[in-house]
Structure 1
């Protein structure tokens, strides 16, 4: 989605229009108006991005072409038409959208500058103040987009353009039914994370060719302050709140206001005198910023402990009794040696970091919907044996979508009892597999009909279309912290090319489940 280049510096071709069809060429004029000057690059969807000039208005333009046009280009053209209705200084202006059937193209504003992706590649992570300024501009653009009822759907370092004049603009909206306002807001957290660390958190904001976030053994992304020095605590907290699906996101307008407040603080070099906005559940954007939520909680906890100690000593003094009383740190009637929640009690609310849940062979099975031979039955034991040298070795298929025979295959995890979950980590043999998590309330049986019911009735944790993962370590999240789960399906919907170039195949080495 990147538009790079030095901008228009030469006049239009004096030889006149060269009207052709098919592959574009320098000097060609499209729609008798837009002359192509230089092929800049191809985007991730295979579309060509050209620098050109509007020969009528004599202004530089960017032209995004795809082959063919017609129905296959409908989504691109519809997104361009919708984007043209929103005018904002932080949005790339869209001028035209044309379908010639053989090809289709969108004409938009040319920005002299480079993408955030290319800027980080050249200069490395940015200083906090510049990261805040860029994120604020993106959030402000989304405020305008969301106000019209639209969704951008493509907030990414490659679509965030930094002009030579310092202007930050968001380009190439392409939302579909699977995108959401929440995904746009989470992606602003991704922009902050990328600007501060040079990495893009795949599981939290979408797969990308960019390097994934550094993660701990539970699959959680390392906070920016853990990756590099000099990131203020408030900015670190804000970034991680935006990426944490357990924290409801704010409205774009509230996020813009918060980033503006932080931007002003950086100008005055008062980095530690502001606190992050701790978003309230519901994401209404009405939460008031606090100086430090953690400090307040610690202070309240200390006061409670002091009060309990005072009460205990007061009772002892009055009664002058030798009978044992409740200690300051242990409520009366509680076993002092017990650790609440340590036995996996599903009624306990999530506390602390998620832990790995032990899985055994009798807790997993292969799900192979109808039209599958069910020849993989019994191989699920290899994905929970703790040995990455053993694996569920899948069969070859002629096409990545399991040869069109079925929606996919997966591993069903059946926990002894429902509990609060955090994430699933999947280790596969080859990059490029598309994997999602689905949940249900029962296992209808290890049969073809049972597997059919599972695929039909289980619910995906994310409404977004699953994309191929660029790595062999896939971390999946999206569990609701207020819900408990007993049946979890790790489902593969697309296979990567086999390592020997013959067909499509992947091996699942290990599956790990994390919860509280």
Structure 2
């Protein structure tokens, strides 16, 4: 049986508290038309919710009673009148609103089914496609409400009803002067977060009796992917952007269009592309933008390498050497003495190192505890020889991984102990702080193993922040052989969307 009317704790009628006297009884007929059948529950504003029968039209109805009526019920009745003007398949139909002085009541559509709050509370979080479809329905309903100039004001898992036939219906509008269309849209993000995690983000979208979202010591909310594995990165980003007031919220029509695109993808989110909110609701067909960005970064790297070749060629020609000659014994042009390819002093790549071949089986992602290990397998893209692919971290709400973990990295197993001179890392953007660490073994591709690596591996160089797409990491002892090398990211740059993330496009190890 549906749990009609369970909304925000703060959504109680503003004109005064709901009284408990004058309780109605089963069998009573209101306004000579609406017969009360069963008392379903009291909503979060303290009002009684009944299942009833319209004895004239012989159809089931939901009846919401408030004691007393009069001036104290004005807000409830006005919200019902406003809602009755909007007809939409994802909005509960409002049939009547009556004030009898000692009590007031709203009569509306009865939905056979259950509230999202009840379903998730009983069965646990939903799969991503189902959560997406629910959010899509809510956004459609809000677009219709907002088009009339009205605000819903009570988007919540308790007012999101899932009918037995699968229809999603939004009920119990309670907007007041403090509510806004933006708050409605962000609340869709809250419902999406709840559907995916079973938690409600109190600080971001309003207090509720539901359990609060997981947070770190600073109060920063954990992203759905950090709570539960298997949530696509795109859906994770969309949810967190809706909850982040630093990110401009779209209008309901634009959100509905974006969710429709994702909803149509079902569970295949691989190529849905980046967020494409527009304030007109139109959506331009953009595909594989991330790959384009990575490709541009690769072109920049190629240009830099070409520049180094050119400088060496000019230098060698001045010394009477043939144009294009590289430093002896190198498989790559050697950086100038005392600098790396970014022009930073003190991290020059040794001139005689040879590139050590790396394969997918030799690398893996290290994601310490509090990470969801959702990036497992992505490390292979950093050694596939294709600069247009790579491992891209999730988006975080602070540069240091949202305070959830000390960092993330790529562990390289060279197979046997080798002499290592330096590691070259190519990334999608500058501003990354990273280091290189070494150890004696890989304790296991699991949470415990990752934790042991981060705690036990020795850092052999100082933290370095990149000012270009490429970084040379040195610090290896020429008299020591290494088998396990960890490239570890400790601070991320901020992207255009306000989230902190980086793409690691290519990793190369040089030694003998």
| Alpha-carbon separation, structure 1, partners of 2:282 and 2:137 | 20
Distance 1:139 1:229 in 2: 25
Counterpart CA distance in 2 for 1:247 and 1:300 is 25
Task: Say whether 1:310 aligns with 2:306.
Answer: yes
- Give distance in 2, aligned partners of 1:207 and 1:175: 16
**Counterpart for residue 104 of structure 2:** 104
CA distance in 1, matches of 2:286, 2:205: 26
> Aligned Cα RMSD in Å?
2.9
Alpha-carbon distance in 2 for matches of 1:255, 1:215: 26
Secondary structure of residue in 1 paired with 2:200: coil
Q: Which residue of 2 aligns with 1:183?
A: 183
Aligned residue pairs: how many?
Answer: 324
2:228 corresponds in structure 1 to: 228
In the TM superposition, residue 189 of structure 1 has moved relative to its aligned partner by: 1.1
Which entry has the higher C-alpha Rg, 1 or 2?
Answer: 2
Q: Pick closer, same or farther for the CA change 1:286–1:305 going to 2, 3 Å.
A: farther
Q: Which runs of 5+ in 2 are unaligned?
A: 6-20, 320-335, 348-396, 404-496, 499-512
Aligned to 1:219: 219
- TM normalised by structure 2 equals 0.58
Equivalent of 1:328 in 331, 341, 345:
341
After superposition, what is the alpha-carbon deviation per residue over 1:49-74, rounded to whole angstroms, capped at 9, x for unaligned?
01111111111110111111111111
SS at match of 1:35: strand
Say which SS state the counterpart of residue 37 (structure 2) adopts. Answer: strand
Find the counterpart in structure 1 of residue 140 from structure 2.
140
Q: Is the 8 A contact 2:99 2:105 kept in 1?
A: yes
The CA deviation at 1:354 is 8.0
Q: 1:50 and 2:50 equivalent?
A: yes
Q: 1:237: how far off? A: 1.9
In 1, the alpha carbon distance for the partners of 2:224 and 2:82 equals 35
How far apart, CA to CA, are the structure 2 residues paired with 1:156 and 1:276? Answer: 26
1:273-292 superposed matches below 5 A: 273-279=271-277, 283-286=279-282, 288=284, 290-291=286-287
* Cα separation, partners in 2 of 1:312 and 1:218, compared to 1, 3 Å: farther
Distance (Å, rounded) in 2 between the aligned partners of 1:273 and 1:226: 22
Q: Which residue of structure 1 lines up, in the alignment, with residue 350 of structure 2?
A: none
Q: Secondary structure at the match of 1:271?
A: coil
- The superposition leaves residues 317-342 of structure 1 with CA deviations (integer Å, 9 ceiling, x where unpaired) of 324589879743358xx999xxxxxx
Distance in 2 between residues matched to 1:187 and 1:312, nearest whole Å: 52
- For the residue of structure 1 that corresponds to 2:217, the secondary structure is coil
Residue matched to 1:300: 296
TM-score, with length taken from structure 1: 0.58
Partner of 1:385: none
2:490 alignment partner in structure 1: none
Question: Is the 1:278–1:293 Cα contact (8 Å) retained in structure 2?
Answer: no
Describe the superposition over 1:361-413 as per-residue Cα deviations: whole angstroms up to 9, x where unpaired.
Answer: xxxxxxxxxxxxxxxxxxxxxxxxxxxxxxxxxxxxxxxxxxxxxxxxxxxxx
Q: For 1:49, what is the secondary structure of its paired residue?
A: strand
**SS of equivalent to 2:270:** helix
The structural deviation recorded for 1:212 is: 1.1
Structure-1 residue corresponding to 2:399 = 352
Distance (whole Å) between structure 2 residues aligned to residue 351 and residue 314 of structure 1: 40
Deviation at 1:192, TM superposition (A): 1.2
Q: Quote the Cα distance in structure 2 between the aligned partners of 1:279 and 1:138.
A: 17
CA deviations on 1:221-249 (whole Å, 9 max, x unpaired) are 22222222222222222212222222212
Contact 1:218 1:354 in 2 (8 A): no
Aligned pairs for 1:483-498 (under 5 A) are: none
Over 3 Å counting, the alpha-carbon distance change for 1:271 and 1:287 in structure 2 is closer
User: Residue 24 of structure 2 aligns to a residue in which SS?
Assistant: coil
Question: Equivalent residue of 2:106, what SS?
Answer: strand
Tell me the residue number matched to 2:358: none
Q: Secondary structure at the match of 1:64?
A: strand
Q: Shift of residue 2 of structure 1?
A: 3.1
Distance 1:284 1:171, change over 3 A: same
Large movers: runs of 4+ above 6 Å:
321-326
Judged with a 3 Å threshold, the aligned counterparts in structure 2 of structure 1 residues 55 and 294 are, in CA distance, closer, same or farther, namely: same
Cα deviation, residue 296, structure 1: 4.2
CA distance in 2 between partners of 1:168 and 1:352 (Å): 38
Q: CA deviation at 1:113?
A: 0.7
Q: Is the 8 A contact 2:255 2:277 kept in 1?
A: no
Instruction: State the alpha-carbon separation in 1 of the partners of residues 398 and 199 from structure 2.
Output: 28
The residue number in structure 1 matching 2:3 is 2
Partners of 1:247 and 1:99 in 2: how far apart? 42
**295 and 247 in structure 1: CA distance in 2 versus 1, 3 angstrom threshold:** farther
Cα deviation, 1:126-182, whole Å, max 9, x if unaligned, reads: 111111111111111111111111111110000000111111100001111111111
In the alignment, is the contact (CA less than 8 A) between 2:254 and 2:277 conserved in 1?
no
Separation (CA, whole Å) in 2 of partners of 1:246 and 1:58? 50
The question of whether the paired residues in 2 share the 8 Å contact of 1:154 and 1:174 is answered with yes
Secondary structure at the residue paired with 1:272? coil
Q: How far off is 1:279 after superposition?
A: 3.8
CA contact 2:339–2:346 (8 Å) conserved in 1? no
Distance 1:214 1:289, change over 3 A: farther
- TM-fit CA distance, 1:219: 2.2
What is the distance in 2 between the residues matched to 1:355 and 1:199? Answer: 19
Do 2:190 and 2:243's aligned partners in 1 also have CA atoms closer than 8 Å? Answer: yes
Asked if the contact 2:161/2:168 (under 8 Å) is kept, the reply is yes
Shift of 1:3: 1.9
User: Counterpart of 2:161?
Assistant: 161
